[in-house]
Amino acid sequence: MKITQDAALGGLFVASGGIALLMALQYPFGTAGRMGPGYFPVIVSTLLVLTGTGILVRGRLASSEAIVHARWLPLLIVPGAVALFGLLVEKLGLPLAVMLLTVGAATASVGFQLSWKATSGAALFSAVCALVFVKLLGLPIPLVGSWLPALGV
């Protein structure tokens, strides 16, 4: 029996959404007017489970390509880039950490080439993230990390 792309993706969405939902149910939900800490995670994880279920249904109703050959290196590169982001965001600041995350995760793509377009796209995305998360939403994430002043930057 071959696993199809829709079955793998739908199963991954349902499993991760289900685990997140079980974790989120441990927090108070609140109401739409006075949201508790579990409100947003419950909504997002429920939507992820519903999306995964829809993908699984689509896979059963329509023919989906079977997974013949899996590329394992990207499955290590992308989570590694996310982990590196988490470790470096305080030390480098949000813009540099996002840039490293973006370029690092993009190397998992077969067609990725480090060029001015890739670098400028990552820089623009970093600036947008800094604007949205730090300036507009007011999240306490440093724009300049603790390592940069020590380096004389």
- 143 within some domain: no
Q: pTM value? A: 0.65
> How far apart (Å, rounded) are the C-alpha atoms in residues 125 and 102?
8
- 146 within some domain: no
Structural domain range at position 87: 73-136
Structural domains in the chain (count): 2
Can you give the length of the chain in residues? 153
Residues 44 and 80 occupy one common structural domain: no
All residues at 6 or more sequence positions from 150 whose CB lies less than 8 Å from its CB, including other chains: none
Residues 77 and 131 occupy one common structural domain: yes
Dump pLDDT digits (tens) for 28-37. 988 888 888 8
Residues 99 and 121 occupy one common structural domain: yes
Dump pLDDT digits (tens) for 108-138. 998 888 889 889 999 999 999 999 999 898 8
